[in-house]
Amino acid sequence: MFQRASRIRQRLSLALESQELSPAPLPAIIAASKQQPATAIESAIKAGIEDFGENRVAEAGEKWPGIKSRHPQVRLHLIGPLQSNKVREALSIFDTIHTLDRPKLAQALADHYSNGARALPCYIQVNTGEEPQKSGVPPRDCDAFIAWCRDTLHLPVIGLMCIPPQHDHPAPHFAFLRDIARRNGLAGLSMGMSDDFEIAARLGATHVRIGRALFGDRAL
C-alpha cells in the first residue's frame, strides 16, 4: 500500500513537472474504497491517504462510522449517485458530495439545509459525453444549473466532477469540464481515475479518484 500510494504521488508530480507551466500543486488523492474492507482502508490511512470516496450510502454507513471514530482527520466523499430518499443518511456520513446531478437532488439538499442540516460542499456532476445511461447534468444545462444551485438554493457548490465515456480519450472531456468550471468561477475539479489520473492532473484536476491503482483490482 505504501508503495502504491507513493508511486501514485510520484506519477502525479512527474505529470505536472513535464508541463511548461509553473508547477501546480498536486491534486488530492481520493481513495475510491468501494468494496474494500476496513482493513484495506486502514492501510491506506497508514500510507498517508486522508480522503476516501464511497459510491453507496448504505455501504459507507456500515464501514465508516468505526473508521472515522479512530481517524477523525479523514474526509469521506460521496462519489456515487445519491437518491433523494437517502439524503438525510448521506449528510450524516459524508463530508463532501461529488455527484449533485439533477434538480430534484439539489432541491432535496436545499430543503435539508434549510431545516438545519449541516451543509456539505458539493461538486456538480457533468455528463460530458452526454451518455444516456450516465448520471450528470447535460453540458448545455450546466451554466444555468450551477447558477440556480448557488444563487437560488444557496448550495455550497465548490466544483465540477465528470466520468468520461469509457471508450473516448478522456482529455477533451477533462478540458471541457475545466472550461465550464473556469467560466463559472468554480475552483474544484474532481476528475481522473486509475487509468487517466495523470492526464486529469495536467488538465487541472484538484481531486483525482483512485481505486484499482491503490487497492489492486476489485472483485467483479
- Pick the binder of ligand PLP from 8, 91, 142, 193 (CB under 6 A): 193
Q: Least distance in Å: CB of 114 to ligand PLP?
A: 28
User: Of 43, 55, 84, 184, which one interacts with ligand PLP (CB under 6 A)?
Assistant: 55
- Is 209 a binding residue for ligand PLP by CB under 6 A? The answer is yes
Residue (of 144, 139, 123) closest to 188 by Cα position:
123
User: Is 135 one of the binding residues for ligand PLP (CB under 6 A)?
Assistant: no
Calculate the alpha carbon distances from 127 to 7, 9, 54, 160, 214 in Å.
30, 28, 19, 10, 26
Report the length, in residues, of the chain: 220
Does 108 bind ligand PLP (CB under 6 A)? Our answer is: no
User: In whole angstroms, what is the distance from residue 95 CA to residue 207 CA?
Assistant: 14
Q: Is 160 in the site for ligand PLP (CB under 6 A)?
A: no
Distance CA 15, CA 108 (A): 39
Among the listed ranges 3-11, 56-64, 106-114, 205-213, the one in contact with ligand PLP (CB under 6 A) is 205-213
Residues between 56 and 75 with contacts to ligand PLP, criterion CB under 6 A: none
**Residue 34 touches ligand PLP, criterion: CB under 6 A:** yes
Determine the interface stretch with ligand PLP among 7-15, 102-110, 126-134, 211-219 (rule: CB under 6 A).
211-219
Up-side HSE of residue 183: CA atoms within 13 Å toward CB? Answer: 8
157 near ligand PLP (CB under 6 A): no
Confirm or reject binding of residue 211 to ligand PLP (CB under 6 A).
Answer: yes
Whether residue 113 contacts residue 147, with contact meaning beta carbons closer than 8 Å, is answered with no
Nearer to ligand PLP, 123 or 145 (CB): 123
SS3 state at 124: strand
The answer to the question of residue 180 lying near ligand PLP (CB under 6 A) is no
CA distances from 197 to 192, 203, 216 (A): 4, 10, 16
Cβ proximity of 33 and 55 under 8 Å:
no
Which lies closer to ligand PLP via its Cβ, residue 108 or residue 190? 190
DSSP bridge pairs for 97? 78, 122
